[in-house]
Structure 1
Amino acid sequence: MQENSLRNWKIHLFVLILVCVTEFIGVKTLNIGIGAIALFPMLYALIIGAIISLPSLKILKTKEMNIAANILGISFMLFVAKLGMLMGPSLPKIFEAGISLGLQEVGHFAGTILLGLPIALLLGMKREAVGATFSIDREPNLAIIAEKYGSDSPEGRGALGVYVCGTLFGALYLSVLASVMAQTGWFHPISLAMGAGVGSGSMMAAMSGALAVIFPESAKDIAIFAGAANLITTILGTYICVFFSLPFTNYLYKKLEPILGRKAKQDQMKNI
């Protein structure tokens, strides 16, 4: 499959054109009153790539999209290797911030489960809410759900739905969020960089790229700490999801579903 991927000239041609066009556009800054939003080439590439991938346009076939997905995995391997080479000389800095990097999992837990699960139930989701909210649902988390419940289960559908949304909109959303938060002046650039390590390579790249535009003097440290945070989330977060997040989400679902679930609301309306 990888050999066929490398020989598919159409995909490589599209990538070359996208890179040339988006780099020509360059970094743009939009003032939104409370701050500025930095738009950079990766965002343009994501948007244009999403448009040319629409089935109705018939520019790319499903087979070619699957091949592109395989190439993306290879690209991320190279990207992670580059981050590793950046981290090596800066290990003392990373060790100094060790406990801060470890505590980032608290934020993931609070955001996805404590905030996300009640909202999912209010929207009418059932067991899909468990798969959708126990994590940010990247590749390792999908594997956990598929192993425990099966990919065709309600939990599997919920996890896959969040995965698709994160792939399509996550990078754009986080780049905008990072730009807005950076412009407030409330957080140190390194704190924001550590917040970029959510466990997704594309999301981390989008967020750290936006931060590097706003804080060019700290661009190298932003890349280092964002990469370290992302690596810790991927490794440590997987174990936390297995032994804590998923069991806790199931427990919370049993407690909240009778109260917030759509069926519970309908029963209350009948009683009235």
Structure 2
Amino acid sequence: MDVLKNWKIHIIALILAIISELIGVKKIPVGPGVLLFLPMLYAMILGGIISWPKLKMIKAGEMKHATSVLSLLTLILVTKLGVIIGPSLNKVAEAGFALSIQELGHFLGTVVLGLPIAIALGLGRESVGATFSIDREPNIAIIAEKYGLDSAEGRGVMAIYICGTVFGAIWIGLIAGFLAAMHIFHPYALAMGSGVGSGSMMAAATGAIATVFPEQKEQILMYAGASNLLTTIVGIYFCLFVSLPITNYLYKRLSPILSPNRLKKGGASQ
């Protein structure tokens, strides 16, 4: 309860939110791609600046309070996801196999490719939280509930979440635009691929694809929206029952090979 009574943290968060919303969404075309800057990015950068220890605007104890509040808010997020999932189950059935199978692509990209690299770079249990998914809001909720955000896994998931917020929309907007301009993939396939479970990333990607294929803009938005919805609904269960257990299993097997000394030193969260 003391955490909730820390009005300084709440007031600062409110001010940052107001400033970020006033700045608004900014789009900068770069060739066929687009740089998309969203309010969440501004809030992240401003929050990083004011929490710089040398400025002494926010103390270490207050940062811990903010972490505790974030853990509470993930419970609200899980509830919201549950409310969304129920009424949307019929849309999942209508969308078909092609959209549903895309979650396998997320798994291959993050776990199969990302986990060995993370371990080789010296990450311990942080690599589990960082690579079991693309680490957006639903995935943070899974890690927060299972391990807590103060754990090594929690640090890993939050690190990738921040990177995704800062660089994700920029990167996917550029790469989607350039892939669309190369005319290698069908625009509908690119649209489905842009639904990675992040509204900001989807907006950046679809904006770039629609710029290359303006006559198919409505269909692109439709497929991207359905894809994003499925990633949110199917992805949360896929990550919980498939990705996370497999990531834990692979971590145990790969750590002695790729980072022999890390397994002895690192945390033992299970």
User: What is the TM-score of this pair, normalised by structure 2?
Assistant: 0.71
Tell me the equivalent position of 2:29. 28
Partner of 2:33: helix, strand, or coil? strand
Runs ≥4 residues deviating over 2 A: 8-19, 26-30, 36-39, 42-56, 262-265
SS in structure 2 of the partner of residue 137 of structure 1 = coil
Structure 1 pair 17–251 and aligned structure 2 pair: CA distance change class (3 A): closer
**Partner SS for 1:151:** coil
Q: Which residue of 1 aligns with 2:212?
A: 214
Query: Which structure 2 residues correspond to residues 108-127 of structure 1 after superposition, within 5 A?
Result: 108-127=106-125
- The AA in structure 2 aligned to 1:113 is V
1:9-28 equivalent positions in 2, closer than 5 A: 15-16=21-22, 18=24, 22=26, 28=29
Contact 2:41 2:165 in 1 (8 A): no
Q: Does 1:128 align with 2:126?
A: yes
Q: Deviations over 1:175-196 (max 9, x none)?
A: 0110121122110001000001
Q: Distance in 1 between matches of 2:23 and 2:155?
A: 35
Question: Structure 2 vs 1, CA of residues 50 and 161 (structure 1 numbering), >3 Å: closer, same or farther?
Answer: closer
Code of the aligned partner of 2:234: L
Partner of 2:7: none
Alignment-derived partner of residue 170 in structure 2: 172
Task: For 2:16 and 2:123, locate their aligned partners in 1 and report how far apart those are by CA, in whole Å.
Answer: 40
Post-superposition Cα deviations, 1:156-214, rounded to whole Å, max 9, x if no partner, equal 11011111111111000100110121122110001000001101111111111111111
Give the aligned partner of residue 97 of structure 2: 99
Paired residues, number: 226
Which residue is 2:268 aligned to? none
Q: What do the CA deviations read for 1:215-242 (whole angstroms, capped 9, x no partner)?
A: 1111111111111111101111111111
Query: Does the C-alpha gap of structure 1 residues 179 and 254 become closer, same or farther in structure 2, counting only changes over 3 Å?
Result: same
Report whether the alignment pairs 1:37 with 2:37.
no
CA deviation string 1:49-106 (max 9, x = no partner): 76666626x9xx989xx9xx99xx9xxx9xxx9xx9xxx9xx7xx93x6111011011
Could you tell me how far apart the structure 1 residues matched to 2:153 and 2:97 are? 32
- Which of 55, 61, 77 in structure 1 is aligned with 2:49? 55
Superposition RMSD on alpha carbons, in Å?
3.6
Q: How far is 1:45 from its partner?
A: 6.8
Pick from 251, 254, 257: which aligns with 1:256? 254
* Structure 2: gaps (5+ residues): 5-9, 264-270
Q: Which residue of the partner structure matches residue 189 of structure 2?
A: 191
Give the C-alpha shift of residue 38 in structure 1: 3.6
Aligned to 1:270: none
- 1:268 aligns to what? none
CA distance in 2, matches of 1:217, 1:43: 25
Distance 2:138 2:16 in 1: 30
In 1, Cα distance between equivalents of 2:160 and 2:241:
21
Counterpart amino acid of 2:109? G
Partner of 2:37, secondary structure, is helix
How far residue 9 of structure 1 moved from its aligned partner, in angstroms, is: 8.8
Provide the C-alpha distance between the structure 2 equivalents of 1:206 and 1:37, rounded to a whole number of angstroms: 9
Kept after mapping to 1: 8 A contact 2:210/2:220: yes
Q: Secondary structure at the match of 1:28?
A: strand
Tell me if structure 2 keeps the 8 A contact 1:38–1:213: no
> What is the CA-CA distance between 1:263 and the residue it aligns to?
2.2
Report if the CA contact (8 A) 2:30-2:174 is conserved. Answer: no
